[in-house]
Structure 1
Amino acid sequence: MPEEFSQDITNAFKDSYVFEFLNLPEPYNENDLQKGFIKQMKNFILELGRDFIFIDEEYRVQVGNSDFYIDLLFFHRGLQCLVAFELKAEKFKPDHLGQLNFYLEALDRNVKKPHENPSIGILLCKDKEDEVVEFALSRSLSPTLVSEYQTQLPDKKLLQQKLHELFENNGTT
């Protein structure tokens, strides 16, 4: 993969997203999350950034005689590639990457057009531990990112307290 394309991928996606507009009640599952994104597609795309074109939900790819379903499939105009989103209503686990890499391989072999760049996978997890993600991605050859999301912003008082603590710590050092 060309280094320039790799840098473009990094610049096109965020490390963390806020999906407060979904208004999901706790607890929720991956199906609730997916339905929320479809219902709020405009807001979802605005949170992702420019150049995303929605292709389908539960996008079917066939490998051998088996059907598999990608939670959400987009095309990114700027990167000229398919972008598969796998949604997890739980903390990141390394085995999530195996499923996503399988989907990317199926897309690249059976769906991607010859002039398009390799497909990108985005694993949206409720939470992630950076060191675990780093280890899990260290041997991955596919362009894959792990982003966390929040379904609501932290409480205003908590944000004010953290901001106050930050200013106090910077003033004393």
Structure 2
Amino acid sequence: MVAFELKADKFKPEHLGKLNFYLEALDRDVKKTNENPSIGILLCKDKDNEVVEYALSRSLSPTMVSEYKTQLPDKKLLQEKLHDLFIHENEEND
């Protein structure tokens, strides 16, 4: 399972504590025994890479931190990416 958390502000180390709480709850209460541990994805308005590195250095849970954009990419670019993904998926299934 994957837990997504969206923050409207810049990354703070305490955001990881909350996300880890959610991951623990998922793993204890929802995850089946044959499933892998849950993964956390934290999307923030902005981040300082050094602060993220320090915050994640002792984390045992698989967690990713990334910035998000408030505007979507160009429609044509999205169509091209989806087309490429579709072709790649078909090639793997053949």
Q: Same fold (TM over 0.5)?
A: yes
Matches of 2:39 and 2:54, distance apart in 1 = 19
Q: Name the TM-score, length of structure 1 as normaliser.
A: 0.41
The structure showing larger relative contact order (alpha-carbon pairs under 8 Å, at least 6 residues apart) is: 2
Q: Name the TM-score, length of structure 2 as normaliser.
A: 0.74
**Deviation digits for residues 98-120 of structure 1, max 9, x if unmatched?**
00001100100110011110000
The letter of the residue matching 1:88 is: K
Structure 1, unaligned stretches of length 5 or more?
1-81, 154-173
Matches of 2:66 and 2:37, distance apart in 1 = 19
- Measured on the aligned residues, the alpha-carbon RMSD in Å equals 1.4
**Deviation digits for residues 65-118 of structure 1, max 9, x if unmatched?**
xxxxxxxxxxxxxxxxx0000110000000000000011001001100111100
Structure 2 counterpart of 1:90: 9
Matches of 1:105 and 1:99, distance apart in 2 = 10
Does residue 119 of structure 1 match 2:46? no
Which residues of 2 match residues 69-88 of structure 1 at below 5 A?
82-88=1-7
Which structure is higher in helix share?
Answer: 2
Match of 1:138 among 50, 57, 62: 57
Structure 2, unaligned stretches of length 5 or more?
73-94
Structure 2 counterpart of 1:104: 23
Larger radius of gyration between Structure 1 and Structure 2 = 1
Q: Which runs of 4+ in 1 moved over 3 A?
A: none
Give the aligned length: 73
Which structure is higher in strand share?
Answer: 1
The letter of the residue matching 2:26 is: L
Matches of 1:113 and 1:148, distance apart in 2 = 31
